[in-house]
Amino acid sequence: MPKFMKSLNIISRCQSSFRNAKLGSELCSAHHSLVLAICREPGRSQDDLAKDICIDKSGVARALASLEAKGFVERKPDPNNKRKLLVFPTEKLLEIIPSVRSVTAEWNRIVSEGISEEEFAVFQSVLFRIEKNARKIVDNQEVTPEK
Amino acid sequence: MPKFMKSLNIISRCQSSFRNAKLGSELCSAHHSLVLAICREPGRSQDDLAKDICIDKSGVARALASLEAKGFVERKPDPNNKRKLLVFPTEKLLEIIPSVRSVTAEWNRIVSEGISEEEFAVFQSVLFRIEKNARKIVDNQEVTPEK
DNA sequence: TTATAATTGTTGCGTAAGCAACAGTTGCAT
DNA sequence: ATGCAACTGTTGCTTACGCAACAATTATAA
């Protein structure tokens, strides 16, 4: 009955357009979630970041290589585990991160116009549960591909 | 305060993975929204479809060219407007569309586990309003890029 | 210890999708 | 009627990202 996924995909794409239009020059393009995650908790491994934002580790690796080349992040090997690279924001990233946050805030403000706090609370609560269910699906899929 | 967009993007990507894992062989990959829209209302123009699912018209053009090459859709020039191409599903598409719908239904069922009908109703209502607001933003952007 | 399995990151390959530029068609203003 | 603007679709270019394969490291089991 519900075709909510269509709305969800549309909103996702619109936000991407919005962000690119606002920040296109500064940050590359769609790495905003990534840099926000890095600044929220510096020193995480690439794998950790990939799982957090649910993007393939290859995409994270390439995004970070690009961000590092542009001087936005630094990657240091984990002394306790030579496989891991720990990711840190640079000064350059910390300088522009407020503008990233402000664009995000502007987006949030505009799209939530006409929605009461109570409604929004329910919305978010449901959304988080859907996210949790969605994560479970893809995790289980890689374990039992054909069942 | 709300970092709901992260959830939204994650859910979007998870659904894409899920669909590909289930239908990868039959339909190309991420053209599910498109073929569903085509079957829901045969004979729409490419531009109409692009606006409906909020994808750039170039993407729709390429997707339809690919779908046509594989025999899933047919494009006929609009007799009333030589610019337009009207898109129709073929028998081949109509045969597999039930499996597309069933995968979508399975996804919807799983991700909405543990959510009451009342909550889901609020969720959808809010989601639709956010979609409407998001569409307005990108529409206005192309009119007034710097304001 | 040694062999096997699991982590972590990188690379090759393919597809999706956005933006800009373009061509053909239609609508509109004058 | 003529010229300009808007609409519709296509193509070139770029980037994002998923999957599979691989290399290096670490964990586990024997």
**Distance between CA A7 and CA A75 in Å, rounded?**
37
Residue B139: pLDDT over 60? yes
**Distance between CA A137 and CA B130 in Å, rounded?**
26
A135–B129 C-beta distance less than 8 A: no
Residue B133: pLDDT over 60? yes
- Protein-contacted bases of chain D (C-beta within 7 A): 7-12, 15-21, 24-27
Fold held by B5-103: Arc Repressor Mutant, subunit A (1.10.10)
Mean pLDDT, range A65-85, rounded to an integer: 95
Residue A80: pLDDT over 50? yes
Residue A86: pLDDT over 90? yes
Q: How high is the pLDDT of residue B2?
A: 65
Q: How high is the pLDDT of residue A29?
A: 62
Burial class (CB in 10 A: 0-12, 13-18, 19+), B125: middle
pLDDT tier for residue A22 given thresholds of 50, 70 and 90: confident
Residue of B nearest to A52 (CA): B10
Locate B40 and state its tokens.
């829901």
pLDDT tier for residue B144 given thresholds of 50, 70 and 90: very low
Q: Does residue A4 belong to the interface with chain B, where contact is any CB pair within 8 Å?
A: yes
Q: How high is the pLDDT of residue A110?
A: 94
pLDDT tier for residue B146 given thresholds of 50, 70 and 90: very low
Nucleic strand D under 7 Å from the C-beta of B21: yes
In chain A, the percentage of residues whose pLDDT exceeds 70 is 90
Contact list, B25 vs chain A (CB under 8 Å)? none
The continuous run of DSSP H or E covering B121 comes out as helix B117-143
Q: How high is the pLDDT of residue B143?
A: 44
Residue A24: pLDDT over 80? no
**Distance between CA A101 and CA B61 in Å, rounded?**
35
**Distance between CA B38 and CA B21 in Å, rounded?**
22
| Total-model pTM | 0.92
